[in-house]
Chains A and B, each alone.
Chain A
Amino acid sequence: MNAEDFQARTSSTSNAPINFQEKTFLVVDDVASMRSSLRNTISTLGGTRIDMAGNGIEAINRLEQLAYDIILCDYDLGGGKDGQQLLEEAIRRKLLKKSTIFIMVTAERGYEKVVSAAELAPDDYLIKPFAGEVLRLRLERLAQKKTYFAPVFALMDTQDYRRAIQVCDDLLNSPNQYKIDLMRLKAEIHLLLGDYGTAGELYKRILAIREVPWARMGLAKSMYHQNKFSEAANLFRRVTENTPNYMEAYDWLAKSYSAAGDEQRAQRTLMVAAKISPRILQRRKTLGEIAYRNDDLETAQDSYEAVLKFGKNSALTSPEDYANLSRVFIDQGKCDQAMTVMKDARKTFKNSPESLLHGAVMDSLAHQKSGDTEAATEALKQALEQFETCDNKQGSVSLDIARSCFQLGDEETGKKVVQDFIQNKHDDKKIHLHAEDMFRKIGLRDKGREIITNSSREVIALNDQAVQMAQAGDLRGSAELLMQAVAKYPENTVIALNAVHAILTCMQTQGWDEEWGKSAKKTLATVKSRDPDNQKYLMLADLYKEVAKHHGLQK
């Protein structure tokens, strides 16, 4: 394939007219005259069902009432949410239909700088001023494109990835204007399926046609997933050098450095990224974590404060973010500030169980630091009570509790909490790193390592035993053992998925079993609720369908 092919013919691009009178429009702009101007433009196209919103909150309210067909949203909405944050919230809360066309309107191209790299991008953007006729042309083409890709996205929605790839291949057989989009989509599906080699090859083919940054990103990701971290880092670095506004590349570059054990470079990379686009919360959280592990408390404080500041108008912060900042204050000896932060957390989250839990444990640590053992013990007692009953104890709260226990001399409880924490994620390197760091910070490095290693060893041993049984041909025994492990470590995703894998492999050869089929389905659903993008989960959900179909079952 050479470049000539790609400057060549495609099937006709003639537009299908849209009946705008049938369509529902939402115009979002903070300036009233701009809103009415946009309304006029829409009227000239024949649109009549037009609603308006003056800010992000109003827009979300509108979207909760009606799934609009076409949304024109100004990027700059004055204070509060901007257009991109509005789009992200709408997508996360599933307020948009698959067929909804979302167009970002901006006065300047600069908008792309913020967004070109965002994962959740609008369907298109328009730069003011634009003629009504141009809006019509854009809308027609976008509708056409949505229709063209609809079958692939429908299959992806039902996680039928193999067939989605087949449909891409079919579409690629006839020359068309979406050729590059199709190749990209196909490569992304291979990445989702964990078929990194094939994905990498596809990206290389695209790069042979043209150096496009997303293709180099894709190739780098495929390297990363094959544990080739330094090659991946080189590729990601190249993307950041060629396209400094491609923000996702910094995140992956930092991830690659971390994976290769170079936490200092990871931190520096994220600091560069945070400077370019300061409002991305997840990146700031990650930077806070890495800086905290690197004992750079100043950067950690800075990052966590930014998370709370920029997250204020969105539903994207949790009590854990407050605890993260509080922890930094404690290590800095600023105990009053540490407790004030948690007071804010309880207030912001209206005393939710999660906020009470985080609040109690951070209070206990702050009291210890300021030398008030009695108050610390009392707060820890409360924290442990909350810990028993709170369903939502993700993240660092276990380690904070353990730290408090160890420091107050209750080693037994501390050890148990760490054990559960590790065993539910025994192969997650990041969790190990966090735990090791906690022990290092309280001067128990060696003891901590021992606890961590022993905890994960128990799970690994069980898993290995199951693998050996399977290799020896005892598929049924292997599956049974793993199902017992699921009962013992209910939150361990790896064990859950291995169990499902074992069951499916067993049923592939030995026939469908109603009970097992149910367990597999239930376990998959649990994993999905916890980690919907988990690659092995996606692969197994696919396999489940295949096995069920093979045995003549529809679902």
Chain B
Amino acid sequence: MTSPEGRRHRDTHEELDAIDFTALFAAQIHDLKNLLFLLLNSLDETLNNRCAGSEISEDAASRLALLKYNGQLINDKLIQMLSLFRFAQGPYVIDIAYRPVEELIEEVVAEAKPLLGARSITISSDVETVLCGFFDRDLAAGVLNNAIHNALQCAKSEIRLSACAENGFLAIRVEDDGDGFPQEILDNGGSMKSLDLSGGKTGLGLYFSSVCARLHSNKGQTGRIALSNGGSLGGAVFTLLLP
């Protein structure tokens, strides 16, 4: 290993060794989110210009919506990775405040609407306007966005969000009229077992959701997610349960 190439190789290796990759990745994710913000905003702008009368065909518009949807999926992944990284670094403190649930639902629905594009899917929400609860707004929104984006992939014509108080828990549901969760996800969804890093789908979203739910605790009770099929629309039912 005394040839110049060998030495150069070793130097590069030492140099790379010195990099703190966990910190580097976190910082890069941070930058990626900034770039995504610019990307999604210019997409919005293009979509809005269309409404204002400029010429974009229906076809182009629905392709833009699809582009935006995929952008949102990237953002979901980044949020999940960055959050799990922060949780792991610890100590991680969540910001639990008393808030109207309707506000949260309104926001995630507003985020989801532009993603529909030309698809004939309706998103409706059914929340008692007066329901309030204790939760971390950003974590809850991250979980619900993920659930909605999953539902968008499976739904045939409808997605429904609902929230209610149930046995001392705040229950927020995302239901669709698709084919429902496969048995394997019903069995393992949200657990470490579902994290299959070799397969195409990692199950990271559900795992992230279940970690976020567990971070909410109150008087000995801990939050969780529940997955089932059926529900009011006959498809998949994702439930976030917060104490």
Contacts and interface: CB of A to CB of B under 8 A. Distances in A.
19 contacts: A4-B168, A6-B134, A7-B133, A8-B132, A13-B103, A13-B130, A34-B38, A37-B38, A37-B41, A107-B34, A109-B138, A112-B95, A116-B93, A129-B36, A133-B110, A137-B107, A210-B134, A212-B96, A243-B93
Nearest to B114: A131
Interface in B51-103: 75, 82-83, 86, 91, 93, 95-100, 102-103
B131 interface: yes
Interface in B185-239: 218-219
A141 B26 CA distance: 32
B10 interface: no
A244 B110 contact: no
B165 interface: yes
A40 B97 CA distance: 31
Ordered nearest first, which 4 A-B pairs have the shortest CB separation? Answer: A129-B37, A9-B130, A133-B110, A128-B37
Contacts of A128: 33-34, 36-37
Contacts of B99: 177
A176 to B, nearest CB: 9
B11 interface: no
B36 A13 contact: no
Given A116-B95, A128-B37, A134-B107, 7 more contacts: A6-B98, A6-B134, A8-B131, A8-B165, A40-B45, A108-B30, A128-B36
B86 A44 contact: no
B124 interface: no
The residue in B37, B99, B110, B128 that gathers the most chain A C-beta atoms within 10 A of its C-beta is B37
Contact of B168 (A3, A37, A108): A3
A522 interface: no
Interface string A195-214: 00000000000000011100
A34 B35 CA distance: 9
A113 B100 contact: no
Contact of B218 (A4, A211, A245): A211
Given A9-B128, A10-B100, A177-B100, A110 B86 contact: yes
A120 interface: no
Nearest to B110: A133
Interface in A93-120: 107-110, 112-113, 116
Contacts of A159: none
Contacts of B98: 6, 177, 179-181, 210
B82 A40 contact: no
Majority secondary structure of chain B interface residues (helix, strand, loop or mixed): helix
Interface size of A as a range: 35 or more
B79 to A, nearest CB: 8
A12 interface: yes
B224 to A, nearest CB: 17
Contact of B37 (A7, A8, A37, A138): A37
A8 B130 CA distance: 7
A113 B86 CA distance: 11
Contacts of A107: 30-31, 33-34, 37
A4 B34 CA distance: 40
B218 to A, nearest CB: 6
Interface size of B as a range: 35 or more
A131 to B, nearest CB: 5
Contacts, number: 124
A418 B30 CA distance: 55
A7 B106 contact: no
B130 to A, nearest CB: 4
A175 B130 CA distance: 10
Given A11-B130, A13-B103, A129-B36, A44 B44 contact: yes
Contacts of A141: 103
B179 interface: no
Contacts of B103: 13, 137, 141
Contacts of B152: none
B219 to A, nearest CB: 7
B40 interface: yes
Given A3-B168, A131-B44, A244 B91 contact: yes
Nearest to B107: A134
A113 B100 CA distance: 23
B131 A9 contact: yes
A12 B42 CA distance: 35
B83 A109 contact: yes
B129 interface: yes
A7 B131 contact: yes
A245 B92 CA distance: 9
Contact of A134 (B33, B45, B110, B132): B110
Interface in B131-156: 131-134, 138
The residue in B91, B93, B111, B113 that gathers the most chain A C-beta atoms within 10 A of its C-beta is B93
